[in-house]
């Protein structure tokens, strides 16, 4: 069984026009895939809404579920923004022994773009799919990823 996986989240807002209030992004919670048994391999997916699923031969263990990354956004009221997530396969989780698992896709809610509320705030969630090899080595795997936000 794998004791898996937390991904630290880093966030950055790209520079915007001087007339607009700065767009700030604060990580609130890390992306976590929870505990599972690799079996014959497959994927573990955490949706942006927090639903955890497995495919292939991966078996989810109910003792430790997963959760999406959470971000608190603040900026210009009603401003539209775009979301940049890592490319598929560009993030790899590693354990202390150097074994790895690729993160195969990222998705967010809102998806692709969003709009701040009347108070200039919003919460954003990020989920992903984790590639699990057949007989994946047991351990605590970790890594990090960045999201980028920019006013439209």
In the predicted structure, residue 10 carries a pLDDT above the cut 90: no
DSSP for the chain reads: -B---EEEEEEEE----TTSPPPEEEEEE-EE---EE-TT-EEEEE-TTS-EEEEET-EE-TTS--B-EEEEEE-STT-EEEEE-PPTT-EEEE-TTS-EEEEEEEEEES-SEEE--TTSEEEEEEEEEEEE-TTPPPS--EEEEEEEEEE-
- For tokens 């997963």, the residue is 66
Using the predicted structure, report yes or no on whether residue 118 has a pLDDT greater than 80. Answer: yes
At 13 the pLDDT is 55
Domain boundaries defined on the chain = 6-151
Give the pLDDT mean for 95-122: 94
Give the Cα separation of 125 and 150 in Å (integer).
16
Tell which wins on pLDDT, 125 or 150. 125
| Cα 55 versus chain centre, distance | 18
pLDDT (average), residues 113-130: 96
- Whole-number Å distance between alpha carbons of 23 and 150: 8
Q: List pLDDT tens digits, range 18-53.
A: 556 888 888 899 999 999 999 999 999 999 999 999
Q: What mean pLDDT do residues 71-90 have?
A: 92
| Domain covering 6-151 in this structure, CATH number | 2.60.40
Residue with tokens 């990354």: 69
What pLDDT does residue 139 have?
Answer: 87
Q: What is the pTM of this model?
A: 0.87
């Amino acid at each position: 069984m794998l004791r898996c996986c937390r991904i630290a989240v880093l966030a950055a807002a790209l520079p915007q026009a001087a007339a607009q209030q700065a767009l700030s992004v604060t990580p609130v919670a890390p992306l976590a895939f929870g505990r599972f048994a690799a079996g014959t391999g497959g994927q573990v997916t955490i949706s942006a809404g927090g639903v955890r699923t497995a495919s292939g031969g991966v078996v989810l263990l109910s003792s430790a579920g997963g959760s999406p990354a959470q971000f608190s956004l603040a900026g210009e009221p009603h401003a539209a923004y775009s979301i940049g997530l890592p490319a598929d396969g560009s993030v790899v989780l590693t354990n202390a022994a150097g074994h790895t698992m690729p993160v195969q896709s990222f998705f967010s809610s809102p998806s692709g773009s969003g709009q701040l509320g009347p108070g200039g705030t919003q919460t954003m969630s990020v989920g992903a799919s984790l590639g699990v090899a057949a007989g994946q080595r047991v351990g605590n795997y970790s890594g990090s990823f960045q999201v980028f936000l920019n006013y439209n």
